[in-house]
């Protein structure tokens, strides 16, 4: 698969892989629209690329190990809600087996767990909340704080 660079619109000149970190909602919207329009017909290059890219974003395995068992990679994150938005971080992540441990000794009485995938960005409507989830994803995948187009492409193409 080759990188896809938008040729028109407000994202002209931007690579789709970098938009996974900057505007995942837009890519999801485009994919949904392309899915509705194609219905059995041949998919164009953008459609094929988005199908591939979004599946890569949902199937990446985090490199951060669970802080409770230190045996398995983290798989879930939980959120602390407040009036000003959400709080997420490595302290609120765990593997499949340690969900119960995450709630012990924290303010999370009945936590809601979310998978550590790019698709989880869609669960939050506020842009600031979405950015926090992206920041967490960068941490659990061992990516730098500043994502370049080259870093983004290497991450998804690997």
At 19-71, the pLDDT tens digits run 999 999 999 999 999 999 987 788 999 999 999 999 999 999 999 999 999 99
Domain range enclosing 119: 76-140
In 26-57, which positions are buried (b, 16+ CB within 10 angstroms) versus exposed (e)? ebbebbeebeeeeeeeeeeebbebbeebbebb
Residue 115 lies in a domain: yes
pTM of the full predicted structure? 0.89
Residues 158 and 135 both lie in one domain? no
Beta bridge partners of 115: 76
Parallel, antiparallel, or unpaired: how do β-strands 76-78 and 113-115 relate?
antiparallel
Residue 68 lies in a domain: no
Does residue 106 have a pLDDT over 70? no
Q: Mean per-residue pLDDT for 121-149?
A: 94
In the prediction, which pLDDT does 109 show?
A: 56
Q: Mean per-residue pLDDT for 108-116?
A: 77
Residues 119 and 133 both lie in one domain? yes
Residues 127 and 84 both lie in one domain? yes
Residues 80 and 50 both lie in one domain? no
Does residue 103 have a pLDDT over 80? no
Q: What is the mean pLDDT of the chain?
A: 91
Does residue 155 have a pLDDT over 80? yes
Please give the share of the chain, as a percent, with pLDDT higher than 70. 96
In the prediction, which pLDDT does 35 show?
A: 93
Contact 47, 34 (CB under 8 A): yes
Q: Quote the number of domains for the chain.
A: 2
Residue 69 lies in a domain: no
Contact 66, 72 (CB under 8 A): yes
To 10 degrees, what angle do helices 127-140 and 24-38 make?
100
The burial class, CB within 10 Å (0-12 / 13-18 / 19+), for 117 is middle
* HSE toward the beta carbon, residue 153, CA cutoff 13 A: 12
Residues 50 and 80 both lie in one domain? no
In the prediction, which pLDDT does 82 show?
A: 76
């Amino acid at each position: 698969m080759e990188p896809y660079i938008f040729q028109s619109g407000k994202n002209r000149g931007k690579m789709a892989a970098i938009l996974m970190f900057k505007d995942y909602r837009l890519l999801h919207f485009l994919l949904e629209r392309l899915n509705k329009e194609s219905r059995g017909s041949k998919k164009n290059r953008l459609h094929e690329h988005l199908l591939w890219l979004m599946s890569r974003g949902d199937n990446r395995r985090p490199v951060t190990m669970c802080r409770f068992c230190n045996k398995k990679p983290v798989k879930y994150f939980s959120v602390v809600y407040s009036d000003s938005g959400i709080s997420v971080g490595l302290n609120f992540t765990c593997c499949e087996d340690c969900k119960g441990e995450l709630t012990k000794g924290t303010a999370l009485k009945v936590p809601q767990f979310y998978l550590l995938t790019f698709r989880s960005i869609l669960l939050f409507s506020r842009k600031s909340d979405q950015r926090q989830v992206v920041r967490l994803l960068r941490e659990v995948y061992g990516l730098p704080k500043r994502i370049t187009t080259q870093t983004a492409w290497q991450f998804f193409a690997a």
